[in-house]
Amino acid sequence: MEQGLLALVLHAHLPYVRHPEYPDFLEEDWLYEAISETYIPLLFAFESLLRDGVKFRVTMSVTPTLSEMLADSLLQERYLAHVDRLVQLCEMELHRTRNHPEMHSTAQMYHEHFSTARSLFSDHYRKNLLNGFRNLQSAGVLEIITSGATHGFLPLVMRPEAKRAQIEVGRQNYRKHFGCEPRGIWLPECAYDPGDDRLLAAAGIRYFFVDAHSLVFGNPRPKYGIYSPVRTPSGVAAFARDVETSEQVWSSESGYPGDPDYREFYRDLGYDAEYDQIKPYLHSDGVRRNIGIKYHRVTGKVDLHLKQPYVPEWASARTAIHADDFIENRKRQCRSLAQFLGRKPLIVSPYDAELFGHWWFEGPQFLNTLIRKIHFDQDEIRLVSCAEYLDEFGEIQSQQPSASTWGAEGYNRVWVNPNTDWMYKHLHVAEGRMIELANGHQRAEGVRRRALDQTARELLLAQASDWAFIITTGTAVQYAVKRFKDHIGRFTRLYEGIKRDAVDESWLAEVEAKDNLFSEIDYHVYQSSS
Amino acid sequence: MPLPHSSFRFAPRQRLIEPPAPLETVLAEEPSPDFGEAIPENYDLDILHALVQDPFRIFIYWELQPAIWNTMRSLFSEDDISGLKTVLRLEEMTEGYEAYFDVPSRGSYWMAVYPGKQYQFEIGVYHAQFGFIAVLRSNVAQTPRGTISPEVDGDSKFRVGVEQFMRILEVSGFGSYKDLAATVLDEEAFEYNRAFEHLPESLRALIAQAARGEAISDEELEALPRHLRDLITAIRRQGGAALASAALLHFVPEILRWRLYEEEGRAPQIFPPPEISPRFLLGSSDLTLIPMKKFEWRPDIAERARSGRSRD
């Protein structure tokens, strides 16, 4: 008998990284790796479930920046070149490991993995993975939602017009790629500020996600805690993340990906191989980096050089055990919650999509097995999408959720701190200037129109939450600073050019070619409402 | 406690083993670092914005253009001008208290504040005789409450009893606050315990009681700074002592952070650095530098300064 409902939510996002000005650009690898390791394996898993008659519902955000990259012909061609090189390297690896049985089966697995990814990308999805996502949405198994246009961190955006532009451009981009209106939105970084829900309501959005403390600290106190959404003052529903399921998958101590049989992320052929052999597969700077072929398993808490060889069959067997464990825990959780809540709980389990496949190599297989087992092996929990839940359980508590994010400590610290505070003056000035330009140009045409649209793109790109996140985490700081300054610099030059009526057209064309996302953008989105 | 954000995107790709060093001869020349296009340092604008970081911190930045002094010359005599200085005013809007800070005409500041309050800031000039003249006003910054609400739903369908809500806190992952509080009492957990041991006796007793799930009285809440005490008291009056104890535990990480920072000028690894001069138990109003004599809201001065017009 059904005891509860489970909403699996995958948040697929990458910042817009596209550098036509260079033949080879390191940070573009983020997309290529995610395509091979996450997006194609997830699509493949969902399609195989559909073919096998498994009934399931998964909610998935595909952010506008990711959608634009997946649909971009330059990046599609570069991905093909990237995966071709990997297939070639795998062929060499098959030969190199022929006398090393402990590695050879893994080499075969990679050869098959990248060859399949290549052929699916090229033939099945016709180089655009959005075709796959769209088909799954049409088939009724994926509910795809939108996000802020460039994953802008809304609580730190100062002007309502600029917040609205993030939401509206995201919505328009969703319509372009998915042919319908989005029902839900993934607020970038789950960052919610009371009042932002009004902007969502105005955009026709029905629901969004918050972290657990948003509802638990909300006003009034929530009767069902995080196990039912609440209705915000504007009428838009807020769903809260379940901490227990997050921990079960994410925790570095107790999470599934740390199982000794799973693939070890940090031991990579990019460092293990002979330099001369690997150099043709590195970037032009010749520096050793991870390239995505890894022959070792987690093993345990030992140094990397003590890691044991990866055994694909063992890892595969663990995914089934972990799927069973996940289901058993959800059953227990639902039984217990149903009893004291007096209704079926809804457990919302959101994850970064890229966890599955990239960090946790066996993640897509885990999801595949989990969803099959939920369908075939039990009847206590049911997968639902969030829109489906709202249709089925119309009456929900009204509440003002608390301001919150899913960042460390639950508020804005990851994005505004002494390492990133310098960014906000530039962003806020740019917001004001963009609104000033939009209000001052009711009907621009020609070069001026192009310049105004590009100015809007530059502001949106500067607003991406990713830059502050990278600076705070100290990973690719130089690149994040460069990107932020590039967009603010281009914005400022465009603004001054427009104000002086002296836009440099050839430079504008250059910038349009570089920052070419959102072809549909209309700068009027920044106009103040009268 | 919320889990740390984790993401494939930028998780550290550090090398955990030393790879063989590539031959220098085959390395491409190291490209010079590209930190992007030049961007303006300042914008020749009058700006004052306040950004909430968390329930205890607000970041403020401002720029006041030199032109403001031209306007001041039209308003004050040369003697008076020499006595003017730029001042930042904080106003806590819920209760109306204020504080003043001597500041340069351009800068930024990390302000220690309290949860569940509205703050607004003004930049202006101060003169011992004429008082404070505001020139720029910030947006209103609302800090999150940082704990549970003292209110239950007016609709009986959605009214939740205290016992059930306590259980909801447990199953929703908020039991970890209790675990943390229990840890601070554990002498083996050195970093936490060290911070705890340096707290005032009355505050230690209060946290220990809350961690053990014991009821706390109004008198015992006296150990807290007033703004937090008011909040916990409101919860206590509505939901009882057990709920108040649970709410108090949500502030334990901040209390410990404050103490560690104050003791050592740094925060240990168990907490991210507080990054500002914390005044958790003192409150921002203790930073008051100038006694208020007179308040005059004059946003038009900035406009006059920009347009170069003198006072009529």
Give the span between the Cα atoms of A439 and A524, in whole angstroms.
8
Q: Which residues of B touch A291 (CB under 8 A)?
A: none
Q: Are A163 and A92 in contact (CB under 8 A)?
A: no
Q: Which residues of B touch A475 (CB under 8 A)?
A: 10-13
Sign of CA dihedral A132, A133, A138, A142: positive
Q: Which residues of B touch A402 (CB under 8 A)?
A: 144-145
* Mean predicted confidence (pLDDT) in A54-78: 98
φ, ψ of residue A506 to 5 degrees: the values are: -70, -35
- Percent of residues, chain A, with pLDDT higher than 90: 92
pLDDT for residue B262: 62
Check whether A377 has a pLDDT greater than 90.
yes
Lowest-pLDDT range of A81-85, A131-135, A431-435, B61-65: B61-65
Most confident of A6-10, B6-10, B296-300: A6-10
Check whether B24 has a pLDDT greater than 60.
no
pLDDT for residue B228: 85
Q: Quick check: B167 contacting A, CB < 8 Å?
A: yes
Check whether A364 has a pLDDT greater than 70.
yes
Q: Which residues of A touch B154 (CB under 8 A)?
A: 220
Q: Which tokens go with A130? A: 């959005």
User: What would the pLDDT profile of A62-71 be if each residue is shown by its tens digit?
Assistant: 999 999 999 9
* Mean predicted confidence (pLDDT) in A148-156: 98
Strands (E) located in A243-384: 346-352, 381-383
Task: For B239, name the nearest residue in chain A, comparing CA atoms only.
Answer: A221
Task: For A406, name the nearest residue in chain B, comparing CA atoms only.
Answer: B5
Task: For A419, name the nearest residue in chain B, comparing CA atoms only.
Answer: B275
Give how far Cα A427 sits from Cα of A18, A64, A193, A430, B41, Å: 22, 20, 18, 5, 13
Check whether A103 has a pLDDT greater than 50.
yes
User: What would the pLDDT profile of B126-171 be if each residue is shown by its tens digit?
Assistant: 888 888 889 999 999 999 999 999 999 999 999 999 999 999 988 8
| Nearest-neighbour CA in chain A from B160: distance (Å) | 5
Higher pLDDT, residue A131 or B64: A131
Task: For B30, name the nearest residue in chain A, comparing CA atoms only.
Answer: A285
Interchain CB distance below 8 Å, B36 and A305:
no
Give the span between the Cα atoms of A469 and B10, in whole angstroms.
8
3-state secondary structure B215-266: CCCCCHHHHCCHHHHHHHHHHHHHHCHHHHHHHHHCCHHHHHHHHHHHHHCC
pLDDT for residue B10: 28
Q: Across all residues in chain A, what is the average pLDDT?
A: 95
pLDDT for residue B190: 58
* Mean predicted confidence (pLDDT) in A251-272: 88
* CA-only gyration radius of chain A, Å: 24
Q: Are B204 and B212 in contact (CB under 8 A)?
A: no
Q: How confident is the model at residue B200 (pLDDT cuts 50, 70, 90)?
A: confident
φ, ψ of residue A356 to 5 degrees: the values are: -85, 105
Q: Which residues of A touch B159 (CB under 8 A)?
A: 223
Overall size of chain A counted in residues: 530
Interchain CB distance below 8 Å, B27 and A287:
yes
* Mean predicted confidence (pLDDT) in B107-131: 88
ipTM of the complex: 0.95
Most confident of A381-385, B38-42, B262-266, B282-286: A381-385
Q: How confident is the model at residue A267 (pLDDT cuts 50, 70, 90)?
A: very high
The b/e string for B180-212 (b: 16+ C-beta within 10 A; e otherwise) is bbbbbbeeebebbbbbbeebeeebbebbebbbe
**Looking at beta carbons, which pairs linking A138-141 to residues 24 or more positions away fall under 8 Å?**
A139/A50, A140/A57, A141/A46, A141/A49, A141/A50, A141/A56, A141/A57, A141/A58
Check whether A366 has a pLDDT greater than 60.
yes
Q: Which tokens go with A372? A: 């099959």
Nearest neighbour of B49 by CB, restricted to A158, A189, A223: A158
Check whether B176 has a pLDDT greater than 80.
no
pLDDT for residue B184: 67
Lowest-pLDDT range of A457-461, A473-477, B25-29: B25-29
Nearest neighbour of A221 by CB, restricted to B1, B149, B174: B149
Return the active site residues of A: 189, 352
* Mean predicted confidence (pLDDT) in A181-189: 97
Overall size of chain B counted in residues: 312
Q: How confident is the model at residue B260 (pLDDT cuts 50, 70, 90)?
A: low
Q: Quick check: B96 contacting A, CB < 8 Å?
A: no
Q: Which residues of B touch A218 (CB under 8 A)?
A: 149
Q: Quick check: B128 contacting A, CB < 8 Å?
A: no
Nearest neighbour of B13 by CB, restricted to A246, A290, A486: A290
Q: Which residues of A touch B50 (CB under 8 A)?
A: none
pTM, two decimal places: 0.90
Q: Which residues of A touch B164 (CB under 8 A)?
A: 223, 340
pLDDT for residue A405: 93
Mutate to test the interface with B, among A31, A38, A221, A399 (most CBs of B within 10 A): A221
Nearest neighbour of A411 by CB, restricted to B17, B54, B149: B54
Task: For B271, name the nearest residue in chain A, comparing CA atoms only.
Answer: A409
Give the span between the Cα atoms of A143 and A137, in whole angstroms.
6
Beta strand A346-352 with A4-12 is parallel
Distance from chain centroid for Cα B16: 36
| CA angle centred on A170, ends A165 and A174, rounded to 5° | 150
| Nearest-neighbour CA in chain B from A136: distance (Å) | 24
Check whether B273 has a pLDDT greater than 60.
no
Tally Cβ neighbours within 10 Å of residue B32. 6
Check whether A231 has a pLDDT greater than 50.
yes
Interchain CB distance below 8 Å, B151 and A221:
yes
Lowest-pLDDT range of A45-54, A287-296, B3-12: B3-12
- Residue labelled with tokens 């002007």: A159
B positions 20-49 inside 8 Å of A (CB): 20, 22-23, 26-28, 30-31, 33-40, 43, 45, 47, 49
Q: How confident is the model at residue B261 (pLDDT cuts 50, 70, 90)?
A: low
| Nearest-neighbour CA in chain B from A52: distance (Å) | 30
| Nearest-neighbour CA in chain A from B242: distance (Å) | 15
- Percent of residues, chain B, with pLDDT higher than 70: 66
Interchain CB distance below 8 Å, B45 and A429:
yes
Give the span between the Cα atoms of B173 and B179, in whole angstroms.
11
Nearest neighbour of A286 by CB, restricted to B28, B63, B159: B28
Give the span between the Cα atoms of A437 and A524, in whole angstroms.
9
Q: Across all residues in chain B, what is the average pLDDT?
A: 72
pLDDT for residue B130: 81
Nearest neighbour of B10 by CB, restricted to A289, A399, A470: A470
pLDDT for residue A530: 58
| Nearest-neighbour CA in chain B from A295: distance (Å) | 15
Size of interface A-B (CB pairs under 8 A): 240
Q: Quick check: B231 contacting A, CB < 8 Å?
A: no
Q: Quick check: B164 contacting A, CB < 8 Å?
A: yes
Interchain CB distance below 8 Å, A403 and B52:
yes
pLDDT for residue B69: 77
Tally Cβ neighbours within 10 Å of residue A73. 9
Give how far Cα A192 sits from Cα of A168, A416, A529, Å: 16, 15, 23
Q: Which residues of A touch B242 (CB under 8 A)?
A: none
Nearest neighbour of A406 by CB, restricted to B2, B53, B55: B2
Q: Which residues of B touch A38 (CB under 8 A)?
A: 8
Interchain CB distance below 8 Å, B39 and A492:
yes
Tell me the helices (H) and strands (E) count for chain A, helix number first. Answer: 20, 9
Mutate to test the interface with A, among B1, B7, B63 (most CBs of A within 10 A): B7
Q: How confident is the model at residue A164 (pLDDT cuts 50, 70, 90)?
A: very high
| Nearest-neighbour CA in chain A from B139: distance (Å) | 8
Q: How confident is the model at residue B30 (pLDDT cuts 50, 70, 90)?
A: very low
Task: Please classify residue A276 by burial: count the beta carbons closer than 10 Å to its beta carbon, then call 0-12 exposed, 13-18 middle and 19+ buried.
Answer: exposed
pLDDT for residue A495: 98
Check whether B96 has a pLDDT greater than 90.
no
Nearest neighbour of B49 by CB, restricted to A226, A428, A484: A428
pLDDT for residue B15: 28
Beta strand B295-297 with B131-137 is parallel
DSSP code string of chain B:
-PPPP--TTTS----SS-PPPPPGGGSPPPPPP---S---S--SS-EEEEEEEETTEEEEEEE--THHHHHHHHHS-HHHHHT-EEEEEEEETTTTEEEEEE--SEEEEEEE--TT-EEEEEEEEEETTTEEEEEEE---EEPP--S--S---SSGGG---HHHHHHHHIIIIIHHHHHHHHHHT-TTSHHHHHHHHTS-HHHHHHHHHHHTT----TTGGGGS-HHHHHHHHHHHHHH-HHHHHHHHHTTHHHHHHHHHHHHHSS--TTS----S---TTT-GGGG--S----EEE-THHHHHHHHTPPP-
Q: Quick check: B198 contacting A, CB < 8 Å?
A: no
User: What would the pLDDT profile of B202-218 be if each residue is shown by its tens digit?
Assistant: 888 888 888 888 888 88
AA letter at A304:
L
Give how far Cα B10 sits from Cα of A375, A437, B163, B203, Å: 35, 35, 42, 40
Check whether B9 has a pLDDT greater than 60.
no
Give the span between the Cα atoms of A59 and A383, in whole angstroms.
10
DSSP 8-state assignment for residue A403: P
Q: Are A297 and A261 in contact (CB under 8 A)?
A: yes
